[in-house]
Each structure stands twice: as C-alpha cells, then as structure tokens.
C-alpha cells in the first residue's frame, strides 16, 4: 500500500469511526468524557454504557476490517488456492492418469478426481500450514498496533469503549476473520469441486462409506475445526499487537513466530515439547473423516487452542490495560 493510499484509508477510517461513534455517543454518554478523565479513584461511575454498545463497537469494527482492501485481497488469495489446486488436478488427470499416487502432495489429493468434496479437504490441508495462519497473523497483528500506527487508537479510547472492551472486540473480530477465511476457502473449494469433478458418496479414510449429505456435514465441521485451530495464533498475534506501535512490526513478528514454531515442530529432538506447540495438532482435522471419528487429537487441538487463547488473551489484557497510549 502506498503512503498516499494509506493516508487516505486512514482518513476514511477515522471519519467512519467518528461518524458511527458520534451517533451512539450522543445519547449514551453525554458529558461523561470529562468526568472519566479525572474520574473518582475508587473506579465507580455514575453510568455504565449499555451492553448493546459493545455490539455496536463490534459491528463497526467488523465493517471496518472487512471493508479494508487488504482484508479483501487476503480473502481473494485464499479463495484462489482451491481454484488453482482444482484446475491443476483436472489438467493433470485429463489423460486418465492418477494424481499423487505415491501419497505425495497435500492430504486427500488422490481422491479429488473421484469426489469433488475432497477438494474442500485438500484445500484446507494445503492452506492450513501457511496461507490461513498468515492471513490471521496479518489481521491479528494489525488489530491494536495498526490503530496505534495510524493514530486512531487514541480516538478509540476517548470513546467510552474501555480498554478491555476494545481488546475483546478486537479479539472477537480476529476470530470472526478466522472463521470467514476458512469458510471462504471451503466454499470456493466446494464450488470448484462441484464444477470440475463428480460429487457422490464419500469414502472415509477408514474405507467405509457415508452419504453425500453426511459428507457435507463433516466438511462443514472440519471447516469449523480448522477455524478454531487458528484461535491460538489469533490470541498470540493480538498480544504481539499490544506490544508495539508499529502494525507492520506486529504482523511480521506474528508471522515470524508462526514459521519458527512450525520449524521447531518438525524437529524430532524436541519431542517432549512438540505437543505444546500450537500448530502441532492442526492436521488432526482429518480425524473427523475417520470412521468412527478419532477424537483424541481433535480434542487435544481444541484444548491447546483454548490454553493459548487464555494465556495470550490475558497477557494482551495485562499489557494493553496498563500501557501508556501516547499515539
């Protein structure tokens, strides 16, 4: 993004925020701002904003995030991955040969030609190691640091959002992005798969068969699990974002940490530590396609993401609520 563009988008964003917040502010907190600044030391206030205010803030935050060109570009790249995979498989198998016969390539790629539904799984398996978490890292890293960088953080805090509340809203937006990004990949893959390949009964990786409807339900569940797998990274990115005033630095740090941890996860000598790395169980989503479903690693993955979210979420809170916001 060029400097001019950024300046422009920042300007727009500030305007937008100010507009929306002014509306809500007028009836909810007239004249309270001055009182807040010099507020009573025991922390009591005459009025607290209604809970709806949080939803207003969340809505405004979601609109701002998903209207950004950067976000749309990230989603477009993610949507392009299944198209690429689908077309490549189609071209390679057009002469009747099999693809990935030796078990090479992303998981499930050998099954795509027989059932387009497997393109959803292949696309998720192909994007989960890097594309998806990178996109989440960008959004999460930008959450607080980007505002500080653009000089809009002060304005947000001047509004009676409260720091913890603002952080919660930022975290919720990041998690919504995790879900949207995953769903974009899955839906794009489903559309491409249905267009290029036949759909039908699904053979689970245990060799049993399930109907197409159950197959679709499992694919949806897999998309949800993949989205949940990204929560740990989202919390980590949010924490990094509270440490710095530079959005770029926060994004780079988050994505750098992701790559570092993924490399460490490949080192056999770290066997004792590996189960505690957040990407360790990422591919466990495939266990949903076993028959019966093998829950052990899936639950471990979700638990691990929960622990990461709790640790880095509370660390982000500790940092953000105590730091001096000067920009």
Partner 1 sequence: MAPFKSDDNATAGSPTADGTGNRRGGRRKAARYVVPVTVVGVAAATIGLVPAFAGSGDPDLPKITAQELIEKIAASDVQQLSGTVKISTDLGLPDLSGLEGSLGAGGGADGDEGSAADPSAKLPELASGTHTLRVAADGPDKQKLSLLDEASEYSLIHNGDDVWAYDSGSNEVYHATGAEADMQDGAEDGAKRGEEGGADGKSGVVPEDVPATPGELTEEALKAVDDTTSVTVDGTMQVAGRDAYKLLIEPKQAGSTVGAISVAVDAETGLPLKFTLTPASGGAAVVDAGFTKVDFSAPSAATFDFTPPEGAKVTEADDLEAQAAEERDAGQLPESDEELAAGLEDLGDLEGLKVIGEGWSSIAAFDTGGEGLSAAPSGDGDLGGLLNSFGDEVSGKFGAGTVFSTRLVNVLITDDGKAYAGAVTKEALVKAANADR
Q: 123 in helix, strand or coil? A: helix
User: Residues 13, 21, 163, 218: which binds partner 1 (CB under 8 A)?
Assistant: 163
User: Residues 143, 153, 161, 176: which binds partner 1 (CB under 8 A)?
Assistant: 161
Burial class (CB in 10 A: 0-12, 13-18, 19+), 93: middle
DSSP letter assigned to residue 152: -
Other Cβ atoms within 10 Å of 208 Cβ, number: 11
Q: Least CB distance from residue 38 to partner 1, whole Å?
A: 8
Q: Least CB distance from residue 252 to partner 1, whole Å?
A: 23
Nearer to partner 1, 6 or 59 (CB): 59
162: contact with partner 1 by CB under 8 A: yes
Q: Least CB distance from residue 11 to partner 1, whole Å?
A: 28
276, 287 Cβ separation under 8 angstroms: no
Nearer to partner 1, 27 or 104 (CB): 104
307: contact with partner 1 by CB under 8 A: yes
Tokens representing 231? 């929560």
Nearer to partner 1, 75 or 109 (CB): 109
User: Residues 56, 100, 133, 146: which binds partner 1 (CB under 8 A)?
Assistant: 100
Considering only the stretches 19-27, 73-81, 204-212, 220-228, report the one whose residues sit in contact with partner 1 under the rule CB under 8 A. Answer: 204-212
Cα–Cα distance measured from residue 178 to residue 233, given in angstroms and rounded to the nearest whole number: 10
Considering only the stretches 61-69, 71-79, 145-153, 312-320, report the one whose residues sit in contact with partner 1 under the rule CB under 8 A. Answer: 312-320
Nearer to partner 1, 16 or 291 (CB): 291
User: Residues 6, 36, 59, 154: which binds partner 1 (CB under 8 A)?
Assistant: 36
266, 272 Cβ separation under 8 angstroms: no
Query: Helix 295-322 to helix 231-243 angle, to the nearest 10 degrees?
Result: 20
108: contact with partner 1 by CB under 8 A: yes
Secondary element (H or E) of residue 210: strand 209-210
Cα–Cα distance measured from residue 277 to residue 61, given in angstroms and rounded to the nearest whole number: 30
Tokens representing 128? 């989960």
322: contact with partner 1 by CB under 8 A: yes
135, 176 Cβ separation under 8 angstroms: no
**Residue keyed to tokens 């798969």:** 193
102: contact with partner 1 by CB under 8 A: yes
Tokens representing 266? 């490949």
User: Residues 30, 207, 269, 272: which binds partner 1 (CB under 8 A)?
Assistant: 207
312: contact with partner 1 by CB under 8 A: yes
104: contact with partner 1 by CB under 8 A: yes
Other Cβ atoms within 10 Å of 84 Cβ, number: 12
User: Residues 28, 111, 182, 241: which binds partner 1 (CB under 8 A)?
Assistant: 111
């Amino acid at each position: 993004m060029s400097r001019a563009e950024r300046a422009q988008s920042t300007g727009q964003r500030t305007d937008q925020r100010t507009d929306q917040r002014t509306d809500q502010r007028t009836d909810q907190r007239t004249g309270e701002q001055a009182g807040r600044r010099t507020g009573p030391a025991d922390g009591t206030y005459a009025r607290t904003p209604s809970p709806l205010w949080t939803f207003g803030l969340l809505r405004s935050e979601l609109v701002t995030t998903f209207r950004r060109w950067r976000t749309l570009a990230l989603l477009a790249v993610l949507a392009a991955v299944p198209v690429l995979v689908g077309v490549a498989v189609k071209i390679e198998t057009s002469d009747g040969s099999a693809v990935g016969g030796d078990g090479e390539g992303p998981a499930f790629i050998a099954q795509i030609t027989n059932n387009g539904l497997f393109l959803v799984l292949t696309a998720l398996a192909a994007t989960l190691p890097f594309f998806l978490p990178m996109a989440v890292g960008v959004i999460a890293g930008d959450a607080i640091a980007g505002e500080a960088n653009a000089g809009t953080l002060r304005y947000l805090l001047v509004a009676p959002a409260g720091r913890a509340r603002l952080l919660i809203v930022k975290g919720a937006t990041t998690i919504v992005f995790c879900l949207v990004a995953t769903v974009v990949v899955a839906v794009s893959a489903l559309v491409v798969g249905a267009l290029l390949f036949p759909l039908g009964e699904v053979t689970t990786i245990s060799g049993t068969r399930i109907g197409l409807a159950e197959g679709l339900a499992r694919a949806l569940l897999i998309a949800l699990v993949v989205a949940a797998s990204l929560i740990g990274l989202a919390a980590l990115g949010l924490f990094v974002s509270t440490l710095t005033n530079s959005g770029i630095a926060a994004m780079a740090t988050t994505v750098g940490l992701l790559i570092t941890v993924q490399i460490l996860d490949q080192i056999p000598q770290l066997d004792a530590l590996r189960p505690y790395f957040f990407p360790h169980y990422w591919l466990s989503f495939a266990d949903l396609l076993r028959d019966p479903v093998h829950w052990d690693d899936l639950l471990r993955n979700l638990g691990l993401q929960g622990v990461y979210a709790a640790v880095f979420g509370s660390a982000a809170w500790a940092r953000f609520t105590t730091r001096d916001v000067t920009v």
